[in-house]
Amino acid sequence: MKDQNIILETERLILREKVVEDAPFFFELNSNYNVVKYTGDVSFNNLEEAENIVRYVINQYKENGYGRWLVTEKETNNPIGWCGLKFHTDTKETDIGYRFLESAWGKGYATESAKACIDYGFKVLKLNRIYGQAMKENVNSINVLKKLGMTYLREDLCEGHDSYVYELKKENFK
């Protein structure tokens, strides 16, 4: 694989930019219904669809300077999911997002990686506010938002489903 652009390193994880060669991993990740259940996404029909999504994210890195990153586990060097900040061109706001293999849940990986992203967002990208949104039923995701120090803002729709929006402002970031 060509040079990998590492963005962040935590105690147990490495976050780097996605490359098209990661597509088989994303195909596998989304093939589990439990993983996509509360995301509004469905499984990919083929590898080409997964590759196109990666190209879309690579374009975000170029246009906005950041996007969702691949998370690999240091201990095994295996990809386990993605986590990162996404700039929404319509609202000019940035949100935090994450998605992990079911086998990687319950280890604190989502919180560990998202914390590093939030830190990067405020300190390096100089953002003033980061928000997170999760469907009401997505208890695990809402727990992560709370552990990041985010506070409840309002209800909204996420892919047509009732959801909660949480936010963290720079002045409240510790």
Ligand X SMILES: CC(C)(COP(=O)(O)OP(=O)(O)OC[C@H]1O[C@@H](n2cnc3c(N)ncnc32)[C@H](O)[C@@H]1OP(=O)(O)O)[C@@H](O)C(=O)NCCC(=O)NCCS
Residues lying near ligand X in the complex (CB under 6 A) are found at 35, 38-39, 98-100, 105-111, 134, 138, 140-141, 143-144, 147
In the numeric block, which tokens belong to residue 16? Answer: 């780097």
Smallest separation, CB 11 to ligand X (Å): 9
Contact 94, 135 (CB under 8 A): no
Round to whole Å and give the CA distance between 24 and 53: 12
Smallest separation, CB 160 to ligand X (Å): 14
Side-chain half-sphere CA neighbours of 126 within 13 A: 0
In the numeric block, which tokens belong to residue 7? Answer: 């963005």
Smallest separation, CB 164 to ligand X (Å): 10
In the numeric block, which tokens belong to residue 44? Answer: 């990919």
How many other C-beta atoms lie within 10 A of the C-beta of residue 140?
13
Identify which of residues 23 and 135 has a Cβ nearer to ligand X in the complex.
135
> Cβ-closest residue to ligand X?
108
CA distances from 27 to 22, 52, 71 (A): 9, 11, 15
Identify which of residues 130 and 144 has a Cβ nearer to ligand X in the complex.
144
DSSP 3-state of 112? helix
Smallest separation, CB 140 to ligand X (Å): 4
Identify which of residues 7 and 110 has a Cβ nearer to ligand X in the complex.
110
Smallest separation, CB 2 to ligand X (Å): 27
Identify which of residues 8 and 144 has a Cβ nearer to ligand X in the complex.
144
Identify which of residues 63 and 151 has a Cβ nearer to ligand X in the complex.
151
Locus of tokens 């729709």 = 157
Locus of tokens 């991993």 = 25
